[in-house]
Amino acid sequence: MTAIKIPCPECQAVLKLPDRSLLGKTGKCPKCQHRFVLTEPAAAEPEVPIEVVDPAAPPAGLNPTWIPDTPAASSELPFSLTGAPQKPAENPLDFLKEELAIPTADGKELHFIHETPEPDASGNSAAESEPDLSQFAASSSGKRRIKKHRRRSGNWKLIVGFLVLAGAAGGLIYHQSQNGGKPLLEVTSPAPVPGTAPMHVNGGNPAPAHREVAEFNPIQEQSPTKGQPIQLLHMPAGVRIAINLHPAQIWGESPKEAEFRASLGPLGTWLESQIVNLTRQQPGQIEELLVGILLGPRGVAPELAMVVTLKEAPPRAELLTTYAGKPYEEFNTNIQLIDGVAYQLVDDRTISICPEKYLEDLLAYKDAPAITAGEVEEILKSTDRDRMVTVAFIPEDLDMHRDMLFPADAQTSIEKGLRWLGPEATAVAWSMHLGDEFFTEMSVLGEKTSKPFVMKSEYQNRLGALPELMLATVQKMDPPRSGYRKIIGRFPAMLKVLAMTTTVAVDHNLVRFATSMPSKAGPNLALGTLLTWDESTRTNFDAVVAVAPPPKPEKQLSFQEKLQKKMNVDFRRTPLQEAFAFIAEDSKIPIEIDGDALKMAGFTKNMPQTYQQDGITTLGAIYNILKNYENEGDPIVVHVSEKDNKITVLTKKAATNQGLEIYDLSKFKEQN
């Protein structure tokens, strides 16, 4: 069927219709946006091929040209062809909604992609009808430039805390998911107008009336947060490491958040002081903190830029007092210069901070993300700014600037972590979130020549081997404290559980890993990682580990000997049930708790027990628990049965009613 060419009555841009079925409908010119009725022209016009596309589906017809959400750093045109920054969209085909729209009879719109027409017979080039790109270049806010010289800054040491925090939460080993699921897009060909033949694509077979495109991301479905990707707004160009935190959540008042902070040890205290010094705000007042790290040549200290978003807007006078300095402009108090650092009051809740020499960049990127490496831009698209902690980086940068980013005693651990990622990882984003469950995710961007499914298989093998490697590492450690020794000794088992519960998925060119575990797993993993890393700084891994002789079979103890067996007890708010379980395991005597009897007397199995004593007997350990309740109306007692080889915990009234003999522990009271 012969195509029809229709010129715009305003700008003379030529559109090409595939057939006459669209005549009589209202169209919109993609150049001048003028709407007009599509009527058959009297004479032929220069061709501008178009394609018919469903409004909510991928283009059907001629091959469309992909327009990325944001241009790559290496692009020669660092601006959007629409004259405005591209906003991130969940559907990569959303940009088609801004193209030419022709409403149909059923109220839907047919979309057209405007292509460059060929020169006509008169010699006029079709380029004359195209928009002048120089207008976009002149009006675009994309006049960007990357500073080549980075200087030293005294604030770079905060980098260590942020990156070790990511490692303390076990970031390099959390992963996820499986393929399959419901389709995200349904592509339906428009119904043909009665009396016309169905349209064929490129002369091939007729397009199917209905087809489904399956593109399901199980990690996003499982994620506890549904936030937008992190954007480098109000940041200077050249950020190589991006760290996004929610300090108000980390420093919250709930017991769960307090336990997580406690698991960070001195690192959490140090990080809190650094946030206060650099942002001039308390962590509990900061809803979101975006930190950008700028790396210079090898051996030069990194520099920091930050965007602080407060939970509540303080009075304007309070902000001006907090960031009082030298105004950047005479009659503009929004930008203050203090000791070589620029503080910009973006609005009542947002403050951007950077070295004074990058202030022009800071002002240039207020509406569009700052230019950075293409790998960083790509990996940031996979992030979720609502997560409690997110770190995005290029492994090669960490390796090159390792001596400036990390303390000397952490070099070995960082090197092993980068080696685990492998040379095929060009960018990595790790995040964690502590809510009803502990959720952690890591996305790895491979090289352009890498195959994502091959990378997925390799990382699954590395993840499976990680617990054994950690076990070999832990065996060479000798922690001085028994509590630390127990946690570090259990760390390989934690990684084993982590590896078993982790699933892996391929998402376009990314390999994504995620794990969802009970909320208490977060502090346990953080503490285990931190203590293991700290002990590794004092361990000589070159030393040969002595092979322990096979254990001799233990002598079978009598029941009375088990009652006198000595043990080391260290209870710190340990629930009553767990405390008795520990004593039973160490003494090899089963201990049963009569929960109904305790409940009738007003006791619970979760009552916290706190005491520490080494070399105490089984009966002595039991007495130290019972003495806390001996003055109650119906005290807790024990019945010791050598015949049944067990100890029963119940109340005095319940023991009397059941005819059970109460074991006399008064001699321990005399000893105390």
Q: What is the pLDDT of residues 29-74, one digit of tens each?
A: 777 777 777 777 765 444 445 444 444 444 444 444 444 454 444 4
Helical pair 618-626 and 576-587, crossing angle rounded to 10 deg: 170
The position carrying tokens 């809740």 is: 349
Question: CA quadruple 327, 317, 361, 392: dihedral positive or negative?
Answer: positive
The torsion angle over the Cα atoms of residues 130, 133, 136 and 141, rounded to 10 degrees, is 150
For 622, other C-beta atoms within 10 Å of its C-beta total 26
Q: What is the pLDDT of residue 305?
A: 95
**Distance between CA 89 and CA 445 in Å, rounded?**
20
**Distance between CA 549 and CA 355 in Å, rounded?**
61
Q: Nearest Cα to 44, choosing from 2, 1, 4?
A: 4
**Residue 489: φ, ψ to 5°:** -65, -30
Beta strands in 89-181 (DSSP E): 100-103, 109-112
Distance between the two ends of the chain, CA-based, in angstroms?
104
CA angle 608, 614, 617 (to 5 degrees): 85
**Distance between CA 414 and CA 398 in Å, rounded?**
8
Q: What is the pLDDT of residue 293?
A: 95
Q: What is the pLDDT of residue 517?
A: 81
Structural domains of the chain in order of their starting residue, each with its CATH number: 158-177+221-536 (no CATH), 559-671 (3.55.50.30)
Residue 306: HSE in the Cβ half-sphere, 13 Å Cα cutoff: 26
Q: What is the pLDDT of residue 415?
A: 87
Over pLDDT 70: what percentage of the chain? Answer: 70
Helical pair 266-279 and 158-168, crossing angle rounded to 10 deg: 140
Beta strands in 527-596 (DSSP E): 566-575, 591-593
For 133, other C-beta atoms within 10 Å of its C-beta total 12
- Average pLDDT of the chain is 75
Q: What is the pLDDT of residue 378?
A: 94
Residues of the chain with pLDDT under 50: 44-48, 50-68, 70-160, 164-165, 168-216
For 340, other C-beta atoms within 10 Å of its C-beta total 11
Helix (H, G, I), strand (E, B) or coil at 113: coil
**Distance between CA 413 and CA 533 in Å, rounded?**
7
Q: What is the pLDDT of residue 425?
A: 93
Contact present, 306 and 353 (Cβ < 8 Å): yes
**Distance between CA 323 and CA 278 in Å, rounded?**
11
pTM: 0.51
**Distance between CA 427 and CA 413 in Å, rounded?**
19
Over pLDDT 90: what percentage of the chain? Answer: 33
Tokens of 351: 């403050």
Tokens of 584: 């039973």
Q: What is the pLDDT of residue 178?
A: 37
